[in-house]
Structure 1
Amino acid sequence: MSGEPHPITGDLFDSPVAPGTGWPGEPGTAATPVARDVDDVRRLAASADDVATLDARVSVCRACPRLVAWREEVAREGRRAAFKDQPYWGRPGPGFGDPDARALIVGLAPAANGTNRTGRMFTGDRSGDWIYAALHRTGFANQPTSEHAGDGLALTGVRIVPAVHCAPPANKPTPAERTTCGHWLDRDLQLAEPHLDAIMTLGAIGWDAVIAAARRVRWEVPRPKPRFGHGVEVELRSAYGPVRLLGCYHVSPHNTFTGRLTEDMLDAVLRRLRG
């Protein structure tokens, strides 16, 4: 390996990180098949037999040229001053958490200097500070912080996945990028449904992504389409039974700094997610 040392392990990495180089929590290997277009995503997602295989394939995806270019540009040249000396993951953010979870949390997309830097969902930015502290308060996480992929954090009973797995320019994936990445979410729902009780979405984009994926995998979804709102709850139905869909404002600084989302509001939805 060559490049810059990981700030915790001391291992050397280039940025973006190549599969199989030993990054903490790395799900893929040099042999993991790579999706290069939407048809590849559809095929590789559908044939993933378990969450570990799905996460590995997500982690090497190159299906959206604009997103690939942006995430890698940030990893090489667009770093914030505080992270100038750190290696960057620079790849799609795979799901994180309990593979047998009874609950899913679906967000928007990785942050350019958060997940795109650390390789773990909601890690290394202010949004992550909020969500993991809340998950710890409500009994889903073994610790209240998530700083890097080798810090010992573990989730029980919940898995976190995004609507889009790559950091997008201006935090705005295009409709085509959302559609392409939706096939990964389809498979997450299918793998989870035998034991899934509830899904919490962070924001309207996650809400819309879940409803679209649920329809593609032939779950029953109320019509007309339920509208997103904080605290809104509707019932979806998979082949295994009902799945509660809960809306929550996103844990973005825009919402948390302004008081639109408070700790009490977030904790209340998470307690309902637990059931």
Structure 2
Amino acid sequence: MNLSSCRQCPRLADFLDQVRVDSPDYFARPVPPFGVADPRLLIVGLAPGMHGANRTGRPFTGDFAGILLYRTLHRFGFASQPESVSADDALQLLDCRITNAVKCLPPQNKPETAEIRQCNAYLRSELAGLPEGTAVLALGNVAHQAVLLAQGLKIKAYPFGHGTHYQLPSGLSLYSSYHCSRYNTQTRRLTAEMFEAVFADIRHYLDGPSLCPTSTSASPER
């Protein structure tokens, strides 16, 4: 599967063709994962944002959603710096990799069900390469369900909720959070404290309490 030349979803491919015409300096192609090849933490988002990853070519880079994500990654030792502004800045992920359930920018940021399923083969391949014990963080319900689909699991058996944690049959450890979108953070459906609490759980799972920074929240909201 060649991600960079993928056109398996006609609506998304045609939309990106138009974006490249309208904004020739934008990346406007399927956005590849970013981070280390052998992560202890894989983060799964929804899809590239128009003026974020679709512009820069790197997940959660250059848009509002990346502000809280990269700041929290840095706080918990998964990123070398707290801000991600461009694909060629000095930021490096540490023991971490970021990908999306859908690799192409969807119109109105809403991929269709068929597109999520079509793109799931890429996520399935990414998950298959992870060893037992790897933590997977799904940002939002679509990403949560995409992980379960890629693992061949029934969605009803693993319901989404902020702060949920499931040990999957494959040996992966699935954590989920509300997406760090502008809407969720500005309406305070997701606060920095809630987001940090999920990362505190992940860091505790990976390394134990001694290496986990103290979160500003007592516990994640379930």
**Radius of gyration: which is bigger?**
1
Alpha-carbon distance change, 123 to 233 in structure 1, aligned in 2, over 3 angstroms: same
* CA positional deviation for 1:137: 0.9
Aligned match of 2:188:
259
TM-score with structure 1 length normalisation? 0.71
Q: What one-letter code is carried by the residue in structure 2 that aligns with 1:245?
A: L
Aligned match of 2:16:
71
CA–CA separation in structure 1 for the residues paired with 2:69 and 2:17: 26
Aligned match of 1:177:
115
CA–CA separation in structure 1 for the residues paired with 2:144 and 2:168: 12
Unaligned runs of at least 5 residues, structure 2: 206-222
* CA positional deviation for 1:195: 5.3
2:148, 2:154 within 8 Å by CA — same for their partners in 1? no
* Pairing of 1:1-275 with structure 2 (within 5 A): 44=1, 57-77=2-22, 87-192=25-130, 194=131, 196-215=133-152, 221=153, 224-238=156-170, 242-274=171-203, 275=205
CA–CA separation in structure 1 for the residues paired with 2:139 and 2:155: 21
* CA positional deviation for 1:268: 1.3
1:203, 1:249 within 8 Å by CA — same for their partners in 2? yes
Aligned residues with identical type, % of pairs: 44
Cα-Cα RMSD? 1.6
CA–CA separation in structure 2 for the residues paired with 1:93 and 1:181: 12
Q: What one-letter code is carried by the residue in structure 2 that aligns with 1:252?
A: S
CA–CA separation in structure 2 for the residues paired with 1:223 and 1:178: 14
Find the residue that maps to 2:168 and give its secondary structure.
strand
* Count of residue pairs brought into register by the alignment: 204
CA–CA separation in structure 2 for the residues paired with 1:181 and 1:103: 21
Unaligned runs of at least 5 residues, structure 1: 1-43, 45-56, 80-85, 216-220
Shift >6 Å, 4+ stretches: none
Q: How big is each residue's C-alpha offset from its partner over 1:199-242, in whole Å with a ceiling of 9 and x where there is no partner?
A: 11000000000001011xxxxx578421100001111021xxx3
TM-score with structure 2 length normalisation? 0.87
CA–CA separation in structure 2 for the residues paired with 1:176 and 1:75: 24
Find the residue that maps to 1:237 and give its secondary structure.
coil
Aligned match of 2:212:
none
Q: How big is each residue's C-alpha offset from its partner over 1:165-186, in whole Å with a ceiling of 9 and x where there is no partner?
A: 0000011111111111000000
Q: How big is each residue's C-alpha offset from its partner over 1:71-127, in whole Å with a ceiling of 9 and x where there is no partner?
A: 2322331x5xxxxxx711010110111111011111100011111110000011000
1:103, 1:196 within 8 Å by CA — same for their partners in 2? no
Find the residue that maps to 2:157 and give its secondary structure.
coil
